Amino acid sequence: MVTTRSSAAARPRPVSLRRRGAVLERAILDAALEQLSTVGWNGLTMEGVAARAQTGKAAVYRRWPSKEDLVAEALQTGLPTFDEAADHGSVREDLYRLGLRMRDAMYSKPGLALRSVIHECDAVTAERFHGLILKGVIEPSTRLMREVVRRGIQRGDVRPDATDAMVVDVGPAMMMYRSKMCGSEWTDADMAEMVDRVMIPLLRPPTG
């Protein structure tokens, strides 16, 4: 006689949805970025992040004692990395393509989260994020702009003294100004116009 298991024993066990370790931490950090990009710095709460991540607030506080600690790590792990500026054969095309990458980063979820921090934090709180913004945004964008300009100098398309900070800051500064102060987005056509009417004349070698 063949014995069979009871229906209770034969029924597959439900998969546990409880998350631990790195999986839970990633969910909490993603929830923090989501909250920052939607309700902003002032609207973000540890309780709201916990609810978004579908965990208890104790799990959040256990890892990050304060809102500032949580946001700093969320931004640090979420911001896109810029390793190099692709060479498209001309300084004009290189600037245009790099500008589009910067724009897409600005309007990504981590980019929107960072902008909410920059726009809404008071001076004391903003100081907490100064190093992160410097290393995660300002230094990479400046480095890539210089990389593009140096290639242009080597081709003879750019004046030799165009790698100073005043020049390489112009494009990113215009993008941030129009985004922050004017609330306007950067279309592909806007980016092309900025490159053609501002950057190229600024970089062009003297004639005559």
Structure tokens at 25: 């931490």
Three-state secondary structure of 15-75: CCCCCCHHHHHHHHHHHHHHHHHHHHHHHCCHHHHHHHHCCCHHHHHHHCCCHHHHHHHHH
Domain ranges of the chain: 21-78, 91-203
Structure tokens at 167: 């020049």
**Count of beta carbons in the 10 Å neighbourhood of residue 144:** 21
pLDDT digits (tens, 9 = 90+) for 131-176: 888 888 888 888 999 999 999 999 999 999 898 888 888 988 888 8
DSSP designation for 16: P
Q: Rounded to an integer, what distance in angstroms lies between the CA atom of residue 39 and that of residue 96?
A: 32
Q: Digits of tens for pLDDT over the chain (208 positions)?
A: 444 444 444 444 333 346 678 899 999 999 999 999 899 999 999 999 999 999 999 999 999 999 999 999 999 898 888 788 889 999 999 999 999 998 888 888 888 888 888 888 888 888 888 888 888 888 888 899 999 999 999 999 999 989 888 888 898 888 888 877 766 678 999 999 999 999 999 998 877 5
Pick the CATH number of 21-78 from 1.20.120.140, 1.10.150.120, 1.10.10.60, 3.40.109.10: 1.10.10.60
Helix/strand/coil for 153: helix
Contacts of 57 (CB under 8 A, 6+ apart): 46, 47, 50
CATH code for residues 91-203: 1.10.357
Q: Rounded to an integer, what distance in angstroms lies between the CA atom of residue 124 and that of residue 188?
A: 36
Q: Rounded to an integer, what distance in angstroms lies between the CA atom of residue 199 and that of residue 157?
A: 12
**Measuring CA to CA, which residue among 39, 3, 28 is closest to residue 117?**
39
The mean pLDDT value of the chain amounts to 85
pTM, two decimal places: 0.77
